[in-house]
A and B are shown apart, each in its own frame.
Chain A
Amino acid sequence: MDEEIQKLLPLTPTVFHMLLALADGEKHGYGIMRAVEEETQGQMQIRIGSLYGSIGRMMEARLIEETNERPDPELDDERRRYYGLTAFGRQVLTAEAARIAQAMAVIQGKQILGKV
């Protein structure tokens, strides 16, 4: 399993931020787009075509899956499809986060960003 995870690292920024957006619960496509934009303070915007291309590839890689649950079926459009992290997707996200944290430690050690 570890080898399978390592093969996927480092993740592309789009995939990483999409996994991050799904880390706190299932979202539909537009929700993922909005979450990525908010979490990156507008520095990353995923457009519709790229979003669904990435969703397709991430589903093929078993990082995410389509879920049947609706947060509130009364309020939600039933045609919307929701996506959530798979167990494997969460492991990949954790491994990538650890890799970034390790790099961050080096950045801090070398005071690239000045004294924090």
Chain B
Amino acid sequence: MRAVFRLSEWLYGVLLRLYPKRFRTAYGQQMRQRFRDACRVAYRQNGGGGVLALWLPTLLDLVKSALEERAQQGEITMFKARLVTLAGPLTMLVGVLWLMACVGDFVFRLGAEGNEAFLGLVAIPFFFSFFPLLFALIGIRQRFHPVVGSLGRVGLALSVAGGAGVLVSVLTNILLSGLVPEAGPHLWANYAAVFCVLSIRVGFILFGVDMQRYHMLPRWNWLPLLLGLTVVLSLPLDWFGVPAFLPAQWATPYLHFAVSGVCWLLFGLTLLGPGRAPQATAAV
């Protein structure tokens, strides 16, 4: 039983890091002690199951109150402001990772490295790009949400939701494969990931249409629309199938990574520049 207490207390101590440092310094020790007391009472009343049952409400309360404390100390606002600044470099990083995947794909298709491990190396930069991409998308939304029209707002929301969704579905897939290996591949998680990637692209198409109207980037206002439209290079292949002998089978995934990677890179570059006040061209 001591092991359960120790593990619970250790985990609670780790989770306390979610609170701002000042709050942790003032109350961290007491909170650990209270949690230990609550664990003892729960165990006395309902055994090991009682300790486990204590965890769910404790976890929900911890996340909620940690967010409240961070908001109280202005840290969330600061974090959002930092994301706006970081959106440019993060988007450029996404572009670099996609270009790496593109080069890997190219080498793989040339047959220079014809093994499964190399295919993994192609997928790794692509998968990891979704971490900086999510934060970049949040930063982009923070920056443009107040100045775009309703179409652009829907687009930005779709892209952020898609970015979060890709990570959740891929991580769920990995977790389920680890926990229930006998269940085989979880196709629904793969479909969810594809759907979320599509959501990012559709979001960028909508955002891109608004960018054409308001011209809020210092240059290359067509980039968000192009970024959204590059989806046509990848999805028709997956959905409708293209015969293997056609060059399109070989070229389109490569082109998809290449064009998207260059677009992310250039878009990140434009985000480094100062924003413009909205200049409506369509509205009269």
Q: Do A and B bind each other?
A: yes
Are B26 and A79 closer than 8 Å at their CB atoms? no
Check if A50 sits within 8 Å of B30, measured CB to CB. no
Answer whether residue A92 sits at the interface, using C-beta atoms and an 8 A cutoff. Answer: no
Residues of A within 8 A of B65 (CB): 47, 49-50, 52-53
The prevalent SS among residues of B at the interface is helix
Q: What are the residues of chain A within 8 A of B33 when measuring CB–CB?
A: 30, 77, 79-80
Cα separation A52 to B66 with both chains bound (whole Å) = 11
Residue pairs across A and B with CB atoms within 8 Å: the count is 52
Nearest chain-B residue to A81 (Cβ)?
A: B30
**Residue interface bits A56-100, CB-to-B below 8 A is 1, else 0:** 110000000000000000000101110000000000000000000
Q: What is the size, in residues, of chain B's interface with A at 8 Å between Cβ atoms?
A: 22
Asked whether A47 and B58 contact (CB < 8 A) given A30-B37, A53-B65, the answer is yes
Complex contact B31–A52 (CB within 8 A) = yes
Which of A33, A51, A53, A56 has its CB near the most chain B CB atoms (within 10 A)? A53
Do A29 and B30 contact each other (CB < 8 Å), given the known contacts A49-B65, A49-B66, A56-B23? yes
Contact status A79-B61, CB under 8 Å = no
How far apart are B43's CB and chain A's nearest CB, in angstroms?
Answer: 15
Q: Is A48 an interface residue (CB 8 A)?
A: yes
| CB atoms of A33 and B29 under 8 A apart | no
CA distance A56 to B31 in the complex (A): 13
Which residues from chain A sit less than 8 Å from chain B, CB to CB?
Answer: 29-30, 33, 45, 47-53, 55-57, 77, 79-81
24 contacts between A and B (CB under 8 A): A29-B34, A45-B57, A47-B57, A47-B58, A47-B62, A48-B38, A48-B61, A49-B19, A49-B31, A49-B58, A49-B62, A50-B64, A50-B65, A51-B34, A52-B31, A52-B65, A55-B27, A56-B23, A56-B26, A56-B27, A57-B72, A79-B29, A79-B33, A80-B33
Told that A30-B37, A30-B38, A56-B26 touch, could you supply 19 new A-B pairs with CB distance under 8 A? Answer: A30-B34, A47-B61, A47-B65, A48-B31, A48-B61, A49-B19, A49-B58, A49-B64, A50-B64, A52-B30, A52-B31, A52-B65, A53-B68, A53-B69, A56-B23, A56-B27, A57-B72, A79-B33, A80-B30
